[in-house]
Structure formats: structure tokens, C-alpha cells
Amino acid sequence: MVGILLVSHVQSLADGVKDLAKMIAPAVPIVAVGGLSDGSPGTDVERIYSGLNEVDQGDGVMIFMDLGSAVMSTEMALEFNPNDKHIMQNAPMVEGTIVAASAIQVGSTIEDACDLVESQKNIDKF
Amino acid sequence: MSVNKETLLNIIKCMQKNITENREYLSDLDREIGDGDHGINMDRGFQEVMKKMDEMENQDLAGILRTTGMTLAFKVGGASGPLYGTAFMKASDVLKGKEEIVIADLPALLEAGIGGIQMRGKAEQYEKTMLDALIPAKNALEEALANGSSSEEAIKAMLDACEAGTEYTKTIKATKGRASYIGERSIGHMDPGAASSLVLLRSIAEVIK
């Protein structure tokens, strides 16, 4: 099954998005990484790298980031062990995660789930 | 000017000393236009680099810069970690196989570092970032050396341009990074990344002078 990695500046934000996604997609492997190892806000390349390995079951990992350095830190983590199926998503973290998790829950491949996120990412809230 | 392994380690120690001394100053600058942790982050990163000193004493010049870069990338915790981390790692590639750095090598080292920052941050000059300090510094150094200046003169030209570039960030609007969220209101404030770049270049000059 495709995994989802959430990368945020704070652990509680990543955990919250994970909780929300788990409600509709309980079977999907999701790992939430937030903040630094001492609990302060920030992004930690080492923790992102471990999270990536933890959530990867071999079918790929979709990665959703919150802001700024989360993107750069994720890029660095990916460079240490390049894998075509570890894919950063250029989409809002909450909406993107829900769309991806829903698709993966019903057996979507990473390619299809990425296409779906891409097609849904600009949908207006109202 | 000639920098061997010992001198390079001294430069890195000096960078840590100066970053630690400027911790509050850099965070204060960041508080004006960002999230207020630039000094704390940079200090954390360089303290972690100091813990690698024993390991680095057994490495060559390229290895020292690579270890410094990896440590900053992993430990800083903010955007400046991947940015400076990539800069040091790219500069490390320039030093492969070398046992000393001479003044003529310095522009290439800076250029590689700048390239790393641009690759990672997808930024250009004049966007109110560290590049506004580093690019003029590299250009001034290159120009001085091309005009036959001595090492001392060239380093002074580099620092002068870096200072001017850092000051210049006060006059422009941020279009990259956290400060871009406040747009016009970023005018009047110095970019903390440019300020930390100045601290790092001054540290190089302080050791090799």
C-alpha cells in the first residue's frame, strides 16, 4: 500500500492531519513528522528521513509539507536515498492528504493518487 | 594566503564563535520579518558542528566542508539549514583532492556555495535573501583579484561588498521566504540570512588576515 508522510513545523499539526485522514482511511500507512527532536518548531531532515523509511511499504510514499523549510528539508532527506516513488506533493497539506488517503484506502496506485491530488488541489472551499 | 586543514578548522570554529555571539542579533532581525529563530537555529547548527571537530580532524579539506554542511542541513531546523548545508556541501566538491586553499580558489568556493543556495532555495539576487550579501561579495573578490589586488585588498573588497549588500536588503521588499508574506512591510528591515552570511564571511577574514 502507498504510504503518506506528513511534514510540518509542529508535531501537533502533523498529528492532527493524520488523525483526520485516519478517520476516512484507517488502512493507509501515515507517519506524521513535526518540529525538531527537542520539541521546538522547525523541520528536521533526520526525522523526515526516518519517517520516510518507516512509512514506505514498497509501493511508494506521497509527502505533504506545510511551509517553507519543510519543503527544503524534505528535498534534502529525499536526496540521501533517491527513489522515484517518494513523491513530494505540490498541494495544500490538509486537502491533499485527505484526497490521497481516500484514493489509497480503496487501492489506488501512487501514480493515480498523485494525478488525483494534482487535479483536485485548486478546488475552492466555497 | 594559504589555508590548510588546521586553518580551515579554525575558520569553522570562528564561525561558531561569531554566530553564537550574534545569536540574539540574528533572531531580533528575524523577529521583525520572520519567525524570530534565525539566530537560535544557526547557533544550534554550529554547536552541533563543533561536536564533529574530532571527526573532522581526521578528514581532508573537502571532508571537513562536507561534514559541516551535512551537520548544518540536519541540525539547524529552519530554512537556513538546507540552504547553508547545501552551500557547504557544494563548496566541498570544489576542494576534492586539494590539501590547501589559496586566494585564487576562494571565488570558486563562494560560487559553488551560492549555486547550492540558489538550487535549494530557487532564489535570485534582489529578493532580500542571503544571496544579496553573497553574490556581490563574490563578484567584488573576483574583480579585485582580476585587477591584481593583494589577498588582503581582495578580502577587504569582498567584505565591503558583503556589508553593502547586507545593508541593501533593508531597502527592498522580500519576495522569497517567510518575509515575503508581509510584502511591503519587509522594507526597512535587514534580511537575517544576509546578516548571517556577513557573519560567516567576516569569520573567514578574521582567521586568514
Give B133-167 pLDDT, tens digit per residue. Answer: 999 999 999 999 999 999 999 999 999 999 999 99
* Cβ contact A69–B85 (<8 Å): no
* Cβ contact B81–A69 (<8 Å): yes
- Whether A86 is catalytic is no
* Cβ of residue B81 closer than 8 Å to a chain A Cβ: yes
Give me the helices (H) in B2-60, please. 5-21, 23-33, 38-50, 53-57
Residue A84's domain spans which residues?
3-120
From residue B191, give the alpha-carbon distance in Å to each of B36, B50, B184: 12, 26, 13
Residue A88 lies in a domain: yes
Residue A126 lies in a domain: no
Q: Determine the average pLDDT of the residues in A98-124.
A: 96
* Residues B69, B87 contacting (CB under 8 angstroms): yes
Q: pTM of whole model > 0.90?
A: yes
Q: How many CB pairs under 8 A join A and B?
A: 43
From residue A110, give the alpha-carbon distance in Å to each of A31, A64, B48: 16, 14, 37
Residues of chain A found within 8 Å of residue B81, distances taken between Cβ atoms: 45, 69, 72-73
Residues of chain B found within 8 Å of residue A36, distances taken between Cβ atoms: 77
Give B179-205 pLDDT, tens digit per residue. Answer: 888 889 999 999 999 999 999 999 999
| Alpha carbon distance B2, A112 (integer Å) | 56
* Cβ of residue A73 closer than 8 Å to a chain B Cβ: yes
**Percent share of chain A, pLDDT over 90:** 90
Task: Name residue, grid cell 534565525.
Answer: B38
From residue A77, give the alpha-carbon distance in Å to each of A69, A72, A126, B70, B194: 12, 9, 36, 11, 25
pLDDT band at A73 (very low <50, low <70, confident <90, very high): very high
Give B6-60 pLDDT, tens digit per residue. Answer: 999 999 999 999 999 999 999 999 999 988 999 999 999 999 999 999 999 999 9
* Cβ of residue A43 closer than 8 Å to a chain B Cβ: yes
Q: How many domains does chain A have?
A: 1
> By CA distance, what is A67's nearest residue in B?
B178
Q: Are strands A30-34 and A61-65 parallel, antiparallel or unpaired?
A: unpaired
Within 13 Å and on the Cβ side, how many CA atoms surround B203? 23
* Cβ of residue B129 closer than 8 Å to a chain A Cβ: no
Residue A42 lies in a domain: yes
Q: Identify the active-site residue in A4, A7, A9, A66.
A: A9
Looking at residue A67, which CATH number applies to its domain? Answer: 3.40.50.510
CA-based R_g, chain B, Å: 16
All domains of chain B in start order, with CATH: 2-208 (1.25.40.340)
Residue A7 lies in a domain: yes
Residue A125 lies in a domain: no
